């Protein structure tokens, strides 16, 4: 987990507010296997990041989730602390980060090439991507999901949890996060302290709006993830559709 701590330290140095990885606060336990596209990206059997299965052999997640050692993707899981019969564990063969990602905030998106194809069934399914540059209106309610921490200094969740957050206007995000927010490649959400939302421990998980993954969890206020004055920030998936499709079609060097 050394790499994860380095990511947190790096983000603290970059941002006066300190941004970090994220999980789920409050919300509810997801109906088992109702989100069959969800992936738990693990290191040494421990959950590290979330992700989504977009093809039998590819998982979409955040670039800062990469670890120096081989990671494993667990699909078809509800309780990641149990050996459920529905689970499929597949090692990551290649990490394909966006070529412009430099370890900071921008271009925080990555594809994981799996060693073998996942077996699609009622527990494991792919999720379709949004349209390139499709409009995402503010004030619509979206869902976040993951196995991350249930609050600051709280333990991670063994079972998949989900919550609802509302898309915020980009200009509000720019006013608050200033140079760290890029409206071309990021979106953000608003929430209440009582309702909660994403928190430490589950970067790379999806923001689902109208049944499409519009965002990948990127960064939040480190020391108070549930502070409604600071929007949660997500990598905007539709801004990267051309790059994703090039990788999937084998037109990018993924070695």
Contact 146, 160 (CB under 8 A): yes
- Comparing CA positions, the residue from 198, 201, 216, 218 lying closest to residue 48 is 201
Which residues form the catalytic set? 64, 108, 203
d(CA 27, CA 163): 4
d(CA 74, CA 88): 6
d(CA 109, CA 97): 6
Radius of gyration of the chain (CA): 16
d(CA 171, CA 230): 13
d(CA 10, CA 41): 21
Residue 213 pairs with which residues in a beta bridge? 208
Which pairs from 115-118 meet CB under 8 Å and 24+ separation? 115/90, 115/91, 116/57, 116/90, 117/56, 117/57, 118/53, 118/56, 118/57, 118/75, 118/88, 118/90
User: Alpha helices of 53-204 — where are they, by DSSP H?
Assistant: 170-177
Residue 62 pairs with which residues in a beta bridge? none
Q: What is the sign, positive or negative, of the torsion defined by CA atoms of 107, 237, 32, 168? A: positive
């Amino acid at each position: 987990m050394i790499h994860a701590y380095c990511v947190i330290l790096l983000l603290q140095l970059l941002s006066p507010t300190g941004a970090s990885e994220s999980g789920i606060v409050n919300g509810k336990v997801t109906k088992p296997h109702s989100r069959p596209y969800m992936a738990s990206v693990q290191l040494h059997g421990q959950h590290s990041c979330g992700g989504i299965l977009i093809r039998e052999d590819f998982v979409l997640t955040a670039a800062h989730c990469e670890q120096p050692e081989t990671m494993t993707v667990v699909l078809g899981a509800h309780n990641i602390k149990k050996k459920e019969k529905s689970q499929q564990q597949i090692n990551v063969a290649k990490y394909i980060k966006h070529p412009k990602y430099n370890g900071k905030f921008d271009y925080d998106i990555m594809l994981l090439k799996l060693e073998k194809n996942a077996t699609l069934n009622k527990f494991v399914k792919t999720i379709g991507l949004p349209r390139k540059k499709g409009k995402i209106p503010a004030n619509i309610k979206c869902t976040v999901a993951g196995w991350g921490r249930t609050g600051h200094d709280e333990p991670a969740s063994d079972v998949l949890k989900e919550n609802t957050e509302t898309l915020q206007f980009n200009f509000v995000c720019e006013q608050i996060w200033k140079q760290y927010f890029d409206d071309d490649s990021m979106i953000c959400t608003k929430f209440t302290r009582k309702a909660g939302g994403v928190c430490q421990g589950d970067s790379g998980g999806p923001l689902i709006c109208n049944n499409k993954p519009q965002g990948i969890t990127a960064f939040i206020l480190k020391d108070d993830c549930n502070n409604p004055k600071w929007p949660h920030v997500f990598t905007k998936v539709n801004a990267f559709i051309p790059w994703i499709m090039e990788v999937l079609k084998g037109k990018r060097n993924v070695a």
